[in-house]
Amino acid sequence: MIALAVLALLLAAGAFSLRAVGTALAETRSPVLVLPVASGRVPEQHALSRYHVRWYAASVVFLAFDVEMLFMYPWAVVVADLGTGAVVEMFVFLAILLAAVAWARREGAFRWA
Protein backbone atom coordinates (compact mmCIF):
# COMPACT_ATOMS: atom_id res chain seq x y z
CA MET A 1 0.00 0.00 0.00
CA ILE A 2 2.81 2.39 0.97
CA ALA A 3 4.68 1.37 -2.19
CA LEU A 4 1.62 2.27 -4.28
CA ALA A 5 1.32 5.66 -2.59
CA VAL A 6 5.00 6.37 -3.18
CA LEU A 7 4.64 5.35 -6.83
CA ALA A 8 1.63 7.64 -7.29
CA LEU A 9 3.54 10.49 -5.65
CA LEU A 10 6.57 9.93 -7.88
CA LEU A 11 4.39 9.88 -11.00
CA ALA A 12 2.65 13.09 -9.98
CA ALA A 13 5.98 14.76 -9.22
CA GLY A 14 7.34 13.59 -12.60
CA ALA A 15 4.34 14.94 -14.51
CA PHE A 16 4.46 18.22 -12.62
CA SER A 17 8.19 18.75 -13.14
CA LEU A 18 7.86 18.02 -16.90
CA ARG A 19 5.20 20.69 -17.09
CA ALA A 20 7.32 23.10 -15.05
CA VAL A 21 10.30 22.54 -17.38
CA GLY A 22 8.03 23.11 -20.38
CA THR A 23 6.72 26.38 -18.97
CA ALA A 24 10.21 27.55 -18.00
CA LEU A 25 11.65 26.86 -21.45
CA ALA A 26 8.72 28.22 -23.51
CA GLU A 27 9.29 31.59 -25.14
CA THR A 28 5.62 32.59 -25.04
CA ARG A 29 2.56 31.13 -23.38
CA SER A 30 0.32 31.10 -26.44
CA PRO A 31 0.44 27.91 -28.50
CA VAL A 32 0.88 27.97 -32.28
CA LEU A 33 -2.45 27.09 -33.89
CA VAL A 34 -2.72 24.61 -36.71
CA LEU A 35 -5.20 24.26 -39.56
CA PRO A 36 -6.19 21.16 -41.54
CA VAL A 37 -3.77 20.49 -44.42
CA ALA A 38 -5.28 22.23 -47.44
CA SER A 39 -2.36 23.41 -49.59
CA GLY A 40 -2.41 26.99 -48.36
CA ARG A 41 -6.19 27.32 -48.35
CA VAL A 42 -8.43 27.51 -45.28
CA PRO A 43 -11.23 24.98 -44.77
CA GLU A 44 -14.59 25.74 -46.41
CA GLN A 45 -16.55 23.13 -44.49
CA HIS A 46 -16.39 21.52 -41.11
CA ALA A 47 -14.61 18.18 -40.97
CA LEU A 48 -17.48 16.77 -38.94
CA SER A 49 -18.94 14.47 -41.56
CA ARG A 50 -20.36 11.03 -42.12
CA TYR A 51 -18.16 8.02 -42.60
CA HIS A 52 -18.42 6.30 -45.91
CA VAL A 53 -20.80 3.33 -45.62
CA ARG A 54 -18.07 1.10 -47.10
CA TRP A 55 -16.17 1.30 -43.81
CA TYR A 56 -19.07 -0.51 -42.13
CA ALA A 57 -19.03 -3.33 -44.69
CA ALA A 58 -15.27 -3.70 -44.19
CA SER A 59 -15.66 -3.77 -40.40
CA VAL A 60 -18.34 -6.47 -40.57
CA VAL A 61 -16.04 -8.62 -42.72
CA PHE A 62 -13.30 -8.03 -40.14
CA LEU A 63 -15.68 -9.24 -37.41
CA ALA A 64 -16.09 -12.57 -39.23
CA PHE A 65 -12.33 -13.18 -38.93
CA ASP A 66 -12.17 -11.78 -35.40
CA VAL A 67 -14.83 -14.13 -34.00
CA GLU A 68 -13.28 -17.10 -35.78
CA MET A 69 -9.96 -16.30 -34.07
CA LEU A 70 -11.76 -16.29 -30.70
CA PHE A 71 -13.02 -19.78 -31.44
CA MET A 72 -9.57 -20.97 -32.52
CA TYR A 73 -7.84 -20.19 -29.20
CA PRO A 74 -9.63 -22.89 -27.12
CA TRP A 75 -9.53 -25.16 -30.16
CA ALA A 76 -5.72 -24.83 -30.33
CA VAL A 77 -5.48 -26.02 -26.68
CA VAL A 78 -7.38 -29.26 -27.25
CA VAL A 79 -6.68 -30.03 -30.93
CA ALA A 80 -3.73 -32.34 -30.10
CA ASP A 81 -5.98 -34.53 -27.89
CA LEU A 82 -8.95 -34.62 -30.26
CA GLY A 83 -6.89 -35.56 -33.35
CA THR A 84 -7.69 -35.38 -37.07
CA GLY A 85 -11.43 -34.96 -36.62
CA ALA A 86 -11.03 -31.59 -34.89
CA VAL A 87 -8.73 -30.30 -37.62
CA VAL A 88 -11.22 -31.27 -40.34
CA GLU A 89 -14.08 -29.65 -38.42
CA MET A 90 -12.14 -26.42 -38.01
CA PHE A 91 -11.39 -26.21 -41.73
CA VAL A 92 -15.06 -26.85 -42.55
CA PHE A 93 -15.92 -23.97 -40.19
CA LEU A 94 -13.33 -21.73 -41.85
CA ALA A 95 -14.67 -22.63 -45.30
CA ILE A 96 -18.18 -21.56 -44.24
CA LEU A 97 -16.84 -18.19 -43.05
CA LEU A 98 -14.78 -17.75 -46.23
CA ALA A 99 -17.92 -18.39 -48.27
CA ALA A 100 -19.42 -15.35 -46.50
CA VAL A 101 -16.32 -13.30 -47.40
CA ALA A 102 -16.59 -14.43 -51.03
CA TRP A 103 -20.23 -13.36 -51.01
CA ALA A 104 -19.29 -9.95 -49.54
CA ARG A 105 -16.67 -9.55 -52.28
CA ARG A 106 -19.24 -10.38 -54.99
CA GLU A 107 -21.57 -7.78 -53.47
CA GLY A 108 -18.81 -5.19 -53.87
CA ALA A 109 -17.83 -4.70 -50.20
CA PHE A 110 -14.17 -4.42 -51.20
CA ARG A 111 -14.78 -2.28 -54.29
CA TRP A 112 -13.54 1.04 -53.04
CA ALA A 113 -13.26 3.72 -55.67
25 binds other proteins (CB under 8 A): no
Choose between 55 and 73: whose C-beta lies nearer to other proteins.
55
24 binds other proteins (CB under 8 A): no
Q: How far apart are the first and last CA of the chain?
A: 57
What is the distance between the alpha carbons of residues 53 and 17, in angstroms, rounded to a whole number? Answer: 46
54 binds other proteins (CB under 8 A): yes
Choose between 4 and 35: whose C-beta lies nearer to other proteins.
35
27 binds other proteins (CB under 8 A): yes
What contacts 64, CB < 8 A, 6 or more positions away? 97, 100, 101
Q: Identify the residue among 5, 22, 24, 28 touching other proteins (CB under 8 A).
A: 28
34 binds other proteins (CB under 8 A): yes
What is the distance between the alpha carbons of residues 7 and 23, in angstroms, rounded to a whole number? Answer: 24
Residue pair 90/75 in contact by the 8 Å Cβ criterion: yes
Binding region for other proteins (CB under 8 A): 27-28, 30, 32-35, 37-46, 48-55, 112-113
